[in-house]
Structure formats: structure tokens, C-alpha cells
């Protein structure tokens, strides 16, 4: 677990202690690849590098599909230790890097243009989710799984780029809403929220889905995530003010 090499094992790809940590292992691997992606952005341009990485990831996912690499004990049909390896998911990271690069260099767009990007991005995300639903209902062939990441990544990229633009260049009301400290704080704590939410949700499911169990679950997730954000993610930061949005 500490070495991150569990992601190369079919049996341990989804850690039994906390299943969502599979993605942490992929992110550790990406940290090693990241400098080379940056070099590719600098040498051949961000757009070409991103297109090339999308093609590479698609090839990795197609390889997993056609070699019928097994899912983890059949428990999670959405994850596959080859299809969702660092190379199969490299385009997830590349699209995020591309969005950051474009936003840093782009001209000022209109509110309508940014809003359109958000709506279009939402449509792409819905498309990716719908494709998975159809596949799980056996209404699409198995090889199509390799392509579902592409509309999802395009969608999230457009939503992110549009929201960034609206948060900086949008009208007063939109800027106020997107820059609320509570939203920024949740965004900064997002990984801790992600890591601990399944454990709390499992506890909720065991105790029934009622108002009190759901409320307790939300409180537990927020408290655990706040402690994790402060003492695990940024345990070496002495000044707590640096971890709170102004």
C-alpha cells in the first residue's frame, strides 16, 4: 500500500481497506510521468500533446478490452486494472493540464461563451454517463467501454474552463457565487472528501437511509475530511491560514 505498487496487481487494484484508494495509486504513478508530459507540452505544443495522449490512452483501454483483462473480482464492473491503469487514464490528467494551459493564455471570453461551455460540458458528461448505463444494461458492445472516457473528459474540461472564466470575468452575481469561500474550501478539501466518503456511506447504508443517518453521514464526512485535509494532506503547514481561502 505504501509503495503504490498495488495498482499493478489484479487482486489488490482496489484496496480492501478503502476501495477508492485505487486512484491514489494511479496518481502516484502519474507524478512520475508528469515531467515528461510537461516536456511534451513544451516541445510539440499542448494541443498536439493532449491529442497524442488521448490516442495512447484509448489504445491502452482497447488493449484491455480485447485481451479481456479481468475486473476486480467482478465486484466493480466499471474498473479494470489494465483499462484504468495510469496509461489508460493518462488522458484524464492531460485534459486537466490542457485546461490550465488554455486558461492561463486565453483571451477574455464573454459571459455567454463561458456559460455555453459549462452547458455543453454538462451535456458531454451526461453523454459519458449514459453510455455507461447502456453498457451495463448490455445494450452496447464491450469494446465501446474504451471510448466512454473521452466525452466525460471533454465535458469536465469544458465545465472547468467555463467556470474558471465565469469566476474571473463573469458578472458580479456569478463571480460572487463561484468565489464563495465555502465552495472554495470544499474544492480544496475535495480529495479528502473523496477518500473518506465511501466508508461513511457504507455506515449509512447499514443503518438505513433516513434523514438522521444521512445527516450523520454528511457530518462524519465533513469532519473526517477537515482533519485529513489539515493533518494528512498539509500536516507540515504550520500556519492554518494558508489552508483557508481568503
Which triple of cell numbers denotes residue 217? 453521514
pTM score, whole prediction: 0.84
If asked whether residues 147 and 65 sit together in one domain, one would say: no
Quickly list DSSP for 164-230. HHHHHHS-HHHHHHHT-HHHHHHHHTHHHHHHHHHHHHHHHHHT-SSHHHHHHHHHHHHHHHHHHII
On whether the CB atoms of residues 233 and 193 are closer than 8 A, the answer is no
> Looking at residue 10, what is its pLDDT?
82
If asked whether residues 21 and 115 sit together in one domain, one would say: no
Q: How far apart are CA 181 and CA 61, in angstroms?
A: 39
If asked whether residues 19 and 41 sit together in one domain, one would say: yes
> Looking at residue 182, what is its pLDDT?
87
- State the CB neighbour count (10 A cutoff) for residue 241: 7
Q: What is the pLDDT of residues 146-156, one digit of tens each?
A: 999 999 999 99
- State the CB neighbour count (10 A cutoff) for residue 125: 19
> Looking at residue 75, what is its pLDDT?
57
Q: Residue 34: CA atoms inside 13 Å, Cβ hemisphere, count?
A: 10
If asked whether residues 175 and 202 sit together in one domain, one would say: no
On whether the CB atoms of residues 55 and 93 are closer than 8 A, the answer is no
Question: Number of structural domains, the chain?
Answer: 3
If asked whether residues 213 and 203 sit together in one domain, one would say: yes
pLDDT of 227 over the 70 cut? yes
Q: Taking residues 152-164, what's their average pLDDT?
A: 94
> Looking at residue 69, what is its pLDDT?
64
pLDDT of 220 over the 90 cut? no
Domain that includes residue 90, residue range: 1-105
On whether the CB atoms of residues 196 and 224 are closer than 8 A, the answer is yes
Which triple of cell numbers denotes residue 71? 475486473
Q: Which has the minimum average pLDDT: 184-188, 189-193, 196-200?
A: 196-200
pLDDT of 229 over the 90 cut? yes
> Looking at residue 70, what is its pLDDT?
62
Q: What is the pLDDT of residues 114-124, one digit of tens each?
A: 899 999 999 99
How many percent of the chain have pLDDT more than 70? Answer: 96
Q: What angle do CA 96, 94, 63 make, to 5 degrees?
A: 130
Q: How far apart are CA 58 and CA 95, in angstroms?
A: 14
Q: Of 105, 130, 157, which residue is a domain's last?
A: 105
pLDDT band of residue 71 (cuts 50, 70, 90) is low
> Looking at residue 13, what is its pLDDT?
86
If asked whether residues 118 and 169 sit together in one domain, one would say: yes
pLDDT of 76 over the 80 cut? no
Q: What mean pLDDT is reported for the chain? A: 88
If asked whether residues 148 and 159 sit together in one domain, one would say: yes
Q: Of 179, 195, 216, which residue is a domain's last?
A: 179
If asked whether residues 15 and 86 sit together in one domain, one would say: yes
pLDDT of 207 over the 90 cut? no
If asked whether residues 120 and 35 sit together in one domain, one would say: no
Q: Of 105, 129, 163, which residue is a domain's last?
A: 105
- State the CB neighbour count (10 A cutoff) for residue 222: 16
For residue 71, what are the β-bridge partners?
A: 80
Q: Taking residues 216-232, what's their average pLDDT?
A: 90
pLDDT of 106 over the 80 cut? no
If asked whether residues 206 and 123 sit together in one domain, one would say: no
If asked whether residues 162 and 200 sit together in one domain, one would say: no
> Looking at residue 54, what is its pLDDT?
96
If asked whether residues 99 and 2 sit together in one domain, one would say: yes
Amino acid at each position: 500500500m505504501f509503495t503504490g505498487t498495488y495498482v499493478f496487481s489484479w487482486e489488490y487494484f482496489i484496496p480492501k481497506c478503502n476501495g477508492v484508494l485505487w486512484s491514489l495509486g494511479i496518481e502516484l504513478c502519474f507524478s512520475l510521468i508528469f515531467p515528461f508530459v510537461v516536456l511534451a507540452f513544451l516541445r510539440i505544443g499542448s494541443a498536439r500533446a493532449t491529442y497524442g495522449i488521448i490516442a495512447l490512452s484509448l489504445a491502452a483501454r482497447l488493449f484491455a478490452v480485447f485481451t479481456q483483462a479481468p475486473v476486480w473480482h467482478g465486484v466493480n464492473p466499471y474498473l479494470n486494472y489494465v483499462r484504468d491503469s495510469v496509461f489508460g487514464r493518462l488522458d484524464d490528467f492531460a485534459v486537466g493540464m490542457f485546461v490550465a494551459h488554455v486558461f492561463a493564455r486565453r483571451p477574455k471570453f464573454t459571459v455567454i461563451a463561458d456559460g455555453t461551455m459549462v452547458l455543453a460540458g454538462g451535456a458531454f458528461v451526461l453523454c459519458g454517463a449514459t453510455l455507461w448505463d447502456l453498457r451495463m444494461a448490455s445494450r452496447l458492445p464491450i469494446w465501446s467501454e474504451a471510448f466512454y472516457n473521452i466525452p466525460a473528459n471533454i465535458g469536465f474540461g469544458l465545465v472547468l474552463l467555463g467556470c474558471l472564466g465565469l469566476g474571473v470575468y463573469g458578472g458580479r452575481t456569478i463571480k460572487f457565487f463561484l468565489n464563495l469561500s465555502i465552495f472554495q474550501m470544499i474544492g480544496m478539501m475535495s480529495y479528502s472528501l473523496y477518500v473518506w466518503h465511501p466508508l461513511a456511506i457504507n455506515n449509512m447504508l447499514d443503518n438505513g437511509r433516513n434523514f438522521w443517518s444521512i445527516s450523520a453521514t454528511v457530518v462524519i464526512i465533513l469532519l473526517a475530511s477537515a482533519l485529513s485535509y489539515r493533518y494528512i494532506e498539509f500536516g507540515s503547514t504550520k500556519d492554518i491560514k494558508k489552508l483557508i481561502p481568503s
